[in-house]
Amino acid sequence: MKNEITAAELLARSIAAQGIGLVTTVPTPRLRPLLEALAGVDGVRLVEARNETAAAGIADGYVRCSRRRAAVLTDGYGRALSQMSAVTNAWADKMPLLALALGDDRPPDPNKGVDRYRFDQGAAFQPVTRHRTRLEDPEGIPAAIRKAALDTAGGRMGPAYIEIPLGLLKRTVTAAADLPSPPEVPPDRTLEPARLTGDPAAVEEAVRLIRKARRPLILCGAGVKSSGADGELLTLVGQYRLPVAMTMAGMGAVPVSHPLCLGGPSYAAGEVFHVAIKEADLVIALGTAFGGLEGFGLPPLWSGDISFIHVDIDPLQLGLNVLPRVSIRGDVRTVIGQLLQSLKAHGFAAKPEWVPWNRLLGNLKYARRERLDRNAGLKTDNIHQGALCRQVGEIVAERADTVLVIDGGNTPLYAAMYAPNVRPDQVIFPFGMAALGSGLAYAIGAQLAFPEKQVILFTGDGSFLYNIQELETMCRLGLPVTVLINNDSAWNMIRAMQDMFYARNFVGTDIPGVDHLQIAMGFGARAERVSSLEAVPAAFRRASRHPGPAVIDCLTDKVNTPDALISFALVEFQGVLRYFSPLLFLKSMWLMRDVGIKRMAHMAGYIVKALLRINPGARRRKP
Amino acid sequence: MRYVSGGELLVDCLRGHGVRHIFSIIGGQMGTIYDTVGRRPDIDVIVPRNETSAPLMAAGYIATTGRPAVSMATVGAGVVYEVGGLTHAWLNYLPVISIAPQVQSWKMKPHQESLQSCNQDEIFEPITRWNAIIYHRDRIPQLVDRAFREAYTGVPGPVHLDVPVDVLFQRKLTGRGKRARGLAHALPAPILPGDSTALAAAAGLLADSQRGLVLLGQGLGRKGRFPGIVQLLNRLGLPVLTTRYSAGVLSRRHQAGAGLALLYTGTEAGRALINRADALLIIGADSESMALLEGCPGSGDRPVIQVEIDSQAFLADTRVPLLADPQSALETLILRAPGLAARAKPWGEEFISGGETAAKPDPGPLTAALQQAAGENSIIVADGSTAVRHAAALLQDRACRDLFLLDEREALGAGLPFALGAALGNPDSRVTLICNHSALLANIRELSPAGKLGLNLQMIILDDGATAPLAVDTAAVLKGLGCRILTADHAGRELGLTAILTGETADSAARAAP
């Protein structure tokens, strides 16, 4: 039996057939046929955002949070390129976002002539997508969407860009009755990673290295979370007493309260992480790309003598930055299972010589926590960011049904340093691009994915305004997101740099006097301001009882700087620090004296303990 | 001789090209640039609240002042917001100079999982006239100079430079001479008297024609884009239609002004009028004039003369491609086709009066608000199809200093940051934005920093029914952002409300001084 349908209808059905339960969009007249077709398909929810940047961010947030499929669909030209920030975030963090946009009917003009509409829209997405396609003929639509879905999940994840020439939507197709009718993949289905088994010989070699190791360390990245390997990981850690660190993207993969966990992710763990990556002789890296946030796994911050066992599902990540002794291409959960089996078969037990190693790391962890607590207790004009993070962390850790979305520059860093004891599915943040501003959109995506959960957005004041228009979307959809603004009235991560290296030449980094309450209430959100730590829990309770979005503007003190920023800066400015003017630096230090002796001492302590690794107390002390 | 960082050298070069304003949100890799800006009194950073707005503000500034402006976003994370706005500059022939830092030159390409980084130069390639990576500090002056020339030469458009952090931070002993490149560079309207054979042919065709019609586009006639041609077009005497890229340059108040092409092409009668022309003089072809040629093909033998300063802009159907600057070309054509104005007068009157009937203005309930907004010193930015229709209809007869009609397909809500850029560059003019609620909300955050900066902007917000009802009260949102509501007419439907942003400080005039 044959029937005739429009290409728009076929496209809508093909999208639904891939289990895409959410399509975010900004409607335009040109998109209307497709939006109408999508509205008529079962299992697809259409959500309208106030601009394309946020539409893409909402879809990305939904994918991150739920591991279910979502797509963004926008008009073309600048509206298509406005998706770029979310697509790039998805690319950097390997999220299978489907980005659909209308395109010009005519082929791109290679001469970049005077008809500027004929620019190569798809080429702009080339560097930040895993898959790109242009739907040229209606008959090919189902296969093209299916292929895009296949290419973006499974082995190597990332976003896809799908261009829809406007004229295509007006065409019809005579197709067989066995058209993709939903659901080929049910919309509530989470994306299961390919359960790829690692090469047994490589696993055996890895086990040999583990048995030989004197100071081993596990480093877990986002791959542990996307593989759902946290349970197996805890068995490996607990059974063999292996210390474990997280990358920034792996935040939440292990509870920070676990005695063998080094604490916050990456350098946020301070001296314990620095000592671990300088003194370990074996690092078992699970699902991590060794990116910039981890210093690439290379000197000068890492020891050059480490033997790496690198497990990742993407063969191109293996050996990208570090040169592993053993590379295992495979699903992290499956490979940990193989390691456990083999270790057991060898009758291996935790080595006694690992005890002092673990004790040293444990001592350093607890000493750091004490120092951070002392620092957070410093007297400040407003709330100390660290203390605020502790408070937020307690709220998140207390309630299993919360999801914490983090947004900002220093704000995520504080959150990592004062890391809450969260589960793997409780935190989302675009680590790879560390981009500001996606918070409101991600929070909407998270709340759409889990309507029953309490979504908390913890954002800096700089990042809060990026997508402020989405408070309308929150109000319209009645999403009860609670937004906590870490409001220090500055782009403070960069302001700290101007403080330390440019003698307080603060240019473009102060944003004083923004009335977030007025703005939020203008949008119809509940809003209140707090300037003391004690007021935060009650304000949070009031906010979380509110049926719609609620904003708590927490006034914090811009004089504070997260100490771990120094470590990240060392990576970010590796090789260029020598260009900083020493005289200007000295002058900066002199001018900085009015931040107070205790703050200066805390920073100096960080340099001594973390960067110079002078910790005689921790090395002597028994637990 | 003294130690000069790459960032300082870059700022020196920008100043050398007359840059007074950089629209930018900072990133760590831009440390030396911002430090230099902070120490120089003659250059300022204007900080939006999302990088998307930086090139849009720069575009509004450039289009209304003719002066150069820079959009700067930080590596990766900032850049990916910026590109949406920069695409608007690309589609509108506006020479925004976009600059971004990159990670260290030795690890930037190919991408190797560096924090925030990607092969960003490849993203910019399709939406710029030219883009490059400056790998060596000593090449900064040369490549900044090249960027300006690429952006401004011929049909203008944005360009992009990536500068690795080590290049920006590297300090070297540098003499004054090495830093001064670009100071003498003349932007942006060169004199190109033109190809004499083509000029003769064009003059001949015009002399032979009975019903010549001029189509002016590409932004020509605006500040910095041969504004002198307005007078010359009046002297030439042929009726002149403008595409939206040159909207408002010639209105019906000018002797030769026939109004906006889009009002004619939108009606059967208007298209018929255009089709009656027996010669078409295109000055600065653009997307709209190309569409007009397709939609109004005329009789097969209608010759097309095309004046361009860039040979790459010539269209395949053009009979006489005339490579010259428009001012020189018009001067010569007036000399060589004497009596054209007198001969064309009846046709001109017929075209213009026919156009009044064909392209009937229908400003609807906007009339009063728009009439108030119009004036010799007013800059009007209409964003979105309804706003464009109303503004185009009314303002073709009324005075305004500058009129911008933004196409909503190109970007949502570009009008607000564009208008704020215009307000910054023209503190003595009155800037009005006309848009619907949806376009206003898309970039509404920018009202916050604009108010702090002391910018003034009037907004006319339409209820055009183009979008689903919003959950918010726009007036309340605007109040929350520090605006004053002048009228809120909910009963009157289409005219939603007018509001005004009054800057908190009065230093915008000082900031905008050239």
pLDDT profile of chain B (514 residues), mean per 10 = 95 94 97 97 97 98 96 96 98 98 95 91 98 97 94 95 98 79 57 92 94 97 94 95 94 84 90 94 97 90 95 95 96 93 92 76 65 87 89 79 94 97 96 92 96 92 71 87 76 57 56 49
Rounded-to-integer distance, Cα B271 and Cα B264, Å: 6
Outline where DSSP puts E strands in A172-260.
172-176, 216-220, 244-246
Nearest-CA distance A124 → chain B (Å) = 4
Give A-chain residues touching B106 at CB under 8 angstroms: 575
**pTM recorded for the entire structure:** 0.96
pLDDT, tens digit (0-9, with 9 covering 90-100), for A9-63: 999 999 999 999 999 999 999 999 999 999 999 989 999 999 999 999 999 999 9
Rounded-to-integer distance, Cα A103 and Cα A167, Å: 9
Rounded-to-integer distance, Cα B429 and Cα A420, Å: 53
Q: Encode burial over A508-522: b for 16+ CB neighbours within 10 A, e otherwise.
A: bbbbeebbbbbbbbb
Contact status of A48 with chain B (Cβ, < 8 Å):
yes
The closest of A429, A527, A530 to A475, measured between CA atoms, is A527
Amino acid, single-letter form, for residue A400: A
Residue A465 has pLDDT above 90, yes or no: yes
The closest of A276, A244, A239 to A257, measured between CA atoms, is A244
Contact status of A465 with chain B (Cβ, < 8 Å):
yes
The closest of A312, A254, A311, A284 to A94, measured between CA atoms, is A312
Rounded-to-integer distance, Cα B70 and Cα B44, Å: 11
Q: Which residues contact B396 (CB under 8 A, 6 or more apart)?
A: B251, B252, B257, B259, B260, B263, B359, B361
pLDDT, tens digit (0-9, with 9 covering 90-100), for A185-232: 777 777 888 899 999 999 999 999 999 999 999 999 999 999 999 999
pLDDT band at A153 (very low <50, low <70, confident <90, very high): confident
Contact status of A105 with chain B (Cβ, < 8 Å):
no
Give the tokens for residue A55.
């539409």
Nearest-CA distance B31 → chain A (Å) = 7
Q: Which residues contact B33 (CB under 8 A, 6 or more apart)?
A: B7, B8, B10, B11, B72, B101, B168
Chain A from 73 to 92: CB within 8 A of any B CB: 75-79, 81-85, 87-88, 91-92
Q: How far is Cα of residue B346 from the mean position of the Cα atoms in its chain?
A: 34
Give A-chain residues touching B411 at CB under 8 angstroms: 77-79, 82
Rounded-to-integer distance, Cα B408 and Cα B414, Å: 8
Helix (H, G, I), strand (E, B) or coil at A304: coil
DSSP A21: -
pLDDT, tens digit (0-9, with 9 covering 90-100), for A170-182: 999 986 655 666 5
Nearest-CA distance B221 → chain A (Å) = 17
Q: Which residue of A has its CA nearest to B93?
A: A116
Query: Mind spelling out the 3-state secondary structure of A122-158?
Result: HHHHHHHCCEEEECCCHHHHHHHHHHHHHHHCCCCCC
The strand pair at B483-488 and B495-501 is best described as antiparallel
Select the residue of B39, B52, B171 nearest A53 (Cβ to Cβ). Answer: B52
CB contact under 8 A, B25 and A116: no
User: How many contiguous H segments (helices) and E segments (strands) does chain B have?
Assistant: 22, 20
CB contact under 8 A, B445 and A468: yes
ipTM exceeding cut-off 0.90 for this assembly: yes
Select the residue of B27, B88, B120 nearest A494 (Cβ to Cβ). Answer: B27
Task: Please tell me the predicted confidence (pLDDT) of residue A448.
Answer: 98
DSSP A484: E
Which of A32, A111, A116, A134 should one mutate to test binding to chain B, selecting the residue with the greatest count of B CBs within 10 A?
A116
Q: Are B105 and B164 in contact (CB under 8 A)?
A: yes
Residue A458 has pLDDT above 90, yes or no: yes
Residue A581 has pLDDT above 50, yes or no: yes
DSSP A609: I
pLDDT band at A146 (very low <50, low <70, confident <90, very high): very high
Rounded-to-integer distance, Cα A66 and Cα B162, Å: 36
- Locate tokens 């209608």: which residue? B302
Q: Count CB atoms within 10 A of the CB of residue A391.
A: 21
Contact status of B267 with chain A (Cβ, < 8 Å):
no
H helices within A486-556, ranges in order? Answer: 492-501, 516-522, 535-545
Burial class (CB in 10 A: 0-12, 13-18, 19+), B335: exposed
Rounded-to-integer distance, Cα B410 and Cα B316, Å: 26
Which of A50, A91, A316, A577 should one mutate to test binding to chain B, selecting the residue with the greatest count of B CBs within 10 A?
A50
Give A-chain residues touching B383 at CB under 8 angstroms: none
Phi-psi label, residue B171: left if phi above 0, alpha if psi -120 to 50, beta otherwise: beta
Cβ-based contacts under 8 A for chains A and B: 284
Contact status of B120 with chain A (Cβ, < 8 Å):
yes
Contact status of B189 with chain A (Cβ, < 8 Å):
no
Rounded-to-integer distance, Cα A528 and Cα B36, Å: 39
Q: Which residues contact A23 (CB under 8 A, 6 or more apart)?
A: A15, A38, A44, A45, A46, A47, A59, A70, A71, A72, A73
State the angle between helix axes of A439-449 and A470-477 in degrees (0 to 180), rounded to the nearest 10: 20
Go through chain B and tell me how many residues it has: 514
Section A69-81 average pLDDT: 98
Q: Are A463 and A407 in contact (CB under 8 A)?
A: yes
Rounded-to-integer distance, Cα A339 and Cα A330, Å: 12
Q: Which residue of A has its CA nearest to B114?
A: A292
Burial class (CB in 10 A: 0-12, 13-18, 19+), A620: exposed
Q: How far is Cα of residue A160 from the mean position of the Cα atoms in its chain?
A: 18
Give A-chain residues touching B122 at CB under 8 angstroms: 123-124, 126-127
pLDDT band at A619 (very low <50, low <70, confident <90, very high): confident
Q: Are B480 and B78 in contact (CB under 8 A)?
A: no
Q: Which residue of B has its CA nearest to A112?
A: B129
Contact status of B111 with chain A (Cβ, < 8 Å):
yes
* Residue of A430 and B162 predicted with greater confidence: B162
Contact status of A570 with chain B (Cβ, < 8 Å):
no
Mean pLDDT for chain A overall:
94
Q: Which residue of B has its CA nearest to A84?
A: B80
What is the DSSP track for B25-46? ---GGGHHHHHHHHH-TT-EEE
Contact status of B81 with chain A (Cβ, < 8 Å):
yes
Beta-bridged to residue A160, according to DSSP, are A98, A131
State the angle between helix axes of A492-501 and A582-591 in degrees (0 to 180), rounded to the nearest 10: 110
Least confident of A378-392, A600-614, B181-195: B181-195
Give A-chain residues touching B476 at CB under 8 angstroms: 521-524
Residue A3 has pLDDT above 80, yes or no: no
Section A585-611 average pLDDT: 93
